[in-house]
Every structure is written in C-alpha cells, then in structure tokens.
C-alpha cells in the first residue's frame, strides 16, 4: 500500500494502531512470517528482534484487520513457533496511518 492508497484507506474506515511484543523466538523465522502476514492483511507497520531475543512491532490499519493480526500473533505465528505469551500495548484509534509499508527492521 503506497501514498494515497493508505490515506484513502484511513479516510474510508476507522484505523487502529497497535504495538506488540514479548514472544521469545529463536530460529523460527517469526519476523519474516509476521511481515508476510501484515502485508497479506493490508496493514502497515514493522517488526524487529530485540537484543533480549523477543520480537516487537507495530501494526496499523482497519480495526478488524488489526484484530486479525492480533489473533495470528497470539495463536498461530510462524509454522515452527510455539507461542506461550504475547503482549499488546498502546492500542488506539488514529485518524490517519502514521506508517507506510510493512517491513522488518534490524
């Protein structure tokens, strides 16, 4: 989703911003699959590993798509992952998207 397309989506329906973090991951390609799922759902945001071995990120988009992402993150994840806990924070409604694309950060 680029430029005006993202802005048009924001104007068409309520959008939500969500921060997440906490899964402890190692060798399960969690970031790659999270980026792929975010793009599949039409969300914008980012995902990255922390120095402590957890994954953090942010997703923005239509509220129902952000909810789908929450379910995916907390119940499914990457094919090799075993999720025991996932924390979400800073969920809020926003007027327009603050990010573009869905990327893995390093």
The single residue of 4, 8, 31, 93 carrying the catalytic annotation is 31
Q: Is 31 a catalytic residue?
A: yes
Q: Is 90 a catalytic residue?
A: no
The β-bridge relationship of strands 102-104 and 15-24 is unpaired
The single residue of 4, 49, 85, 105 carrying the catalytic annotation is 49
Alpha-carbon span 83 to 77, nearest angstrom: 7
* Nearest alpha carbon to residue 6 among 106, 81, 75, 101: 101
Helix (H, G, I), strand (E, B) or coil at 6: helix
How many other CB atoms are found less than 10 A from the CB of residue 31? 20
Question: For 41-104, where are the alpha helices, taking DSSP H only?
Answer: 63-71
Residues marked as catalytic: 31, 49
């Amino acid at each position: 989703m680029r430029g005006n397309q993202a802005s048009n989506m924001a104007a068409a329906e309520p959008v939500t911003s969500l921060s997440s973090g906490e899964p402890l991951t190692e060798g399960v390609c969690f970031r790659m699959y999270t980026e792929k799922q975010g793009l599949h759902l039409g969300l914008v945001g980012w995902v990255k590993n922390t120095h402590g071995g957890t994954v953090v990120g942010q997703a923005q988009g239509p509220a129902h798509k952000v909810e789908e992402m929450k379910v995916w993150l907390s119940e499914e994840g990457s094919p090799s992952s075993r999720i025991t806990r996932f924390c979400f924070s800073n969920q809020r409604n926003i007027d327009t998207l603050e990010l573009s694309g869905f990327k893995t950060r390093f």
